[in-house]
Structure 1
Amino acid sequence: MLIARDPDLSYGVSPALLRALEGGVTMIDTARIYPGSEDIIGATLAAWRGTKPLVSSKIAPLSVDTFRHYAPISCAFTPASIRASVEASLKALGVERLDVVHLHQWFYLWSFEPDWRETLLALRAEGKIDQIAVSAQDHEHDAVLKVVEDAHVDVVQFIYNVFESRPRVSLLPMTERRGIGTIARCVLDSGALSGMMDEAAFKAHHFLSGTNVGEYHRRLEGLKRAFLDRAVDSLDELAIRFVLSDRRVSTMTLGLVSVAEVERALALVALPPLDEADIEAICKNHVWTKNVYERLV
């Protein structure tokens, strides 16, 4: 589960997150730069009396200017900034160890730099972190192939959904070969694959504001014609079942704010995998090479 802050919620206990934990969610994914997110998770974990979930967070870059535009890794992460971000996350979350820690972006050339990994290995030796991860930037899943091939990480996170199925034939075969864990994100494409967003909702959404809404809805109609009422009952069902049908996906994140959204997601993740023929049709007929994040600069 990806925890997103409800704008009407203070940095207190999240009812949605508590319901997710009650429903069997075993990992929470967040990031240091998501305002208030770690504080909400920390408060909720303190109130939770069941089995503690795995906690995954991402190290804050020195500057958001390094997102989407290449810069040397020293402009984004240094040994000191990595350590400071981890320490701040531990304090906010109220935990002694982070189960998964990502660098919150990745460029291919960074795979040849050693300092970031040496710092994280030292933090692991100190018992402050466990699994070392990188989060592939936007749709640039191929940028992490080198670091995966070298097995310099334990986990990778990347965009994977019915429109972005390319990791299926590039990144995922390599993670399987190297025994690397995988976290699929943007399963619902920032909510757009729910099929419930009109043009105003697209324009109001930070991550979707630059989207060609007409083209997006045209693509959604294609999915509906191909799969609704025959293979699935809804677009969000199609999206979630597509990702969970891939056995190479260790887990996935869903940005859920309300208890109702959590209830809906819990019902959908319990459904069986899609038929192989439908998976093949999605990959062949519905892949859409796009990047809705291009204008976020």
Structure 2
Amino acid sequence: MLPSNSFGKSNISISRLGYGAMGLSGSFGSMEESEFIQSIHRSLELGVNFIDTARAYGPSEETIGKALKTWDGPQPFIATKVKPCGKGGWGSPIPVIEAYPPGSIQASVDASLQALGVEALDLIQMHQYWSAWDDEPYWLEEMVKLKEAGKVKYIGISIPDHRHDMALSLVKSGKIDSVQSILNIFDPIALDNLVPLCEKHGVAFIARCVLDEGGLTGLLSSDTTFTERDFRNGYFDAGPRSEYIARVERLRSFIPQYASSLAALAIKYALHAPGVTTSIISMHIKEYAEQNAAALQEDPLPDEVVDELYKRHRWIRNFYERKYWK
């Protein structure tokens, strides 16, 4: 069994390892849909019961819907995200009226319900949230109405990049049930304020980019190439790449004494704080699901190792600015 946590203030138990479904869009390489469905089924077999997707992830929701129809076990907790209407807004703020004009949230939710083949979404999240939107509350009111109508059970936000603290005020307001944000060895800043505040106020914290788009697995070399469509194309080169590789190499000093692999080290680090409800990791390849689940069966990292990683291996930078501002 995988370790689990309660989702926020609810009594719903979700696995601390979540299925990140961005890979179902082909963002990390093309595969047959049947292989994607196998990866979902394998993850569920291993005890993963939290799936995170988005309307913006191409056919991801449809693929999940097909996988659920052929799955005869307990139904997982399904989280998805509203699709923004406006272009941009990832590297810098976009007015909420452009990203989510009135009525667009409900339209996106209705489309998600149809694609996933479910009667209600467990969690709906704003895919790009900026704190300036708090002065335009209509979007949150629309989400609350969907909750009251029974179309969604919980509502939350997803922070678009590394600026974790933009959500602090909304977390304290008591108006949302979850926050999704970046958390990994290179960027542990969410642990300073956001994660403890979420824990204090009963807001679920969903960690993403735990493996930093795969870079923390050690996959990168000086001659690694990605296709034009691959999300990682150009992502690691803003560092520059040589610096990225050097920093990952320094992490190998913890292997195998404290973790069986670099990926296991990164996963165990992200889940060390109890305030981290779950960590979503791309598992569109079933072997990834098996490897990631195995990491959670290892002994936890000692506090002193976590402290050393936190203090001496952080590398705060925002590759997303380079990614979206080519």
Q: What TM bracket, shorter-length normalisation?
A: over 0.9
Identify which of 141, 157, 180 aligns with 1:157. 180
| 1:99-248 matched pairs, under 5 angstroms | 99-201=122-224, 203-204=226-227, 205-207=230-232, 209-211=234-236, 212-225=240-253, 227-248=254-275
Identify which of 275, 282, 292 aligns with 2:319. 292
Root mean square deviation of aligned Cα = 1.6
Secondary structure of the structure 1 residue equivalent to 2:156: strand
Secondary structure of the structure 1 residue equivalent to 2:176: coil
Structure 1 265/229 Cα, relative in aligned 2: closer, same or farther at 3 Å? closer
Which letter does structure 1 place at the counterpart of 2:174?
Answer: A
> 1:174 deviation in Å?
1.0
Identify which of 89, 104, 129 aligns with 1:66. 89
Which letter does structure 1 place at the counterpart of 2:152?
Answer: I
1:268 corresponds to which residue?
A: 295
> 1:270 deviation in Å?
2.2
Contact 1:12 1:39 in 2 (8 A): no
Structure 1 stretches of at least 4 aligned residues deviating more than 3 Å after TM superposition: 10-13, 199-205
Q: Does 1:2 align with 2:30?
A: no
> 1:203 deviation in Å?
4.8
Structure 1 unaligned segments of length 5 or more: list them: none
Which letter does structure 2 place at the counterpart of 1:197?
Answer: L
Contact 1:12 1:43 in 2 (8 A): no
Contact 2:113 2:119 in 1 (8 A): yes
> 1:84 deviation in Å?
0.4
Contact 1:12 1:40 in 2 (8 A): no
- Aligned length, in residue pairs: 296
Q: Does 1:49 align with 2:72?
A: yes
**Cα deviation digits, residues 116-141 of structure 1 (max 9, x gap):** 11101111111100111100111111
> 1:202 deviation in Å?
5.7
Aligned mates of 1:210, 1:102 — CA distance in 2:
25
1:32 corresponds to which residue?
A: 55
Aligned mates of 1:188, 1:104 — CA distance in 2:
20
> 1:256 deviation in Å?
1.3
Aligned mates of 1:65, 1:162 — CA distance in 2:
28
Secondary structure of the structure 2 residue equivalent to 1:149: helix
Structure 2 unaligned segments of length 5 or more: list them: 1-18
Contact 1:11 1:36 in 2 (8 A): no
Which letter does structure 1 place at the counterpart of 2:322?
Answer: R
**Cα deviation digits, residues 29-48 of structure 1 (max 9, x gap):** 00000011000000000110
> 1:197 deviation in Å?
2.3
**Cα deviation digits, residues 173-202 of structure 1 (max 9, x gap):** 111121110100001001110002224446
**TM-score, structure 1 length as denominator?**
0.95
Which letter does structure 2 place at the counterpart of 1:233?
Answer: S
Highest RCO, 1 vs 2 (Cα 8 Å, sep ≥ 6)? 2
Structure 1 199/151 Cα, relative in aligned 2: closer, same or farther at 3 Å? farther
**TM-score, structure 2 length as denominator?**
0.87
Query: Which deviates further from its counterpart, 155-164 or 105-114?
Result: 105-114
Contact 2:124 2:152 in 1 (8 A): yes
Aligned mates of 2:51, 2:215 — CA distance in 1:
22
> 1:210 deviation in Å?
3.6
2:9 corresponds to which residue?
A: none
Query: Which deviates further from its counterpart, 84-93 or 201-210?
Result: 201-210
Contact 2:106 2:142 in 1 (8 A): yes
Aligned mates of 2:117, 2:101 — CA distance in 1:
24
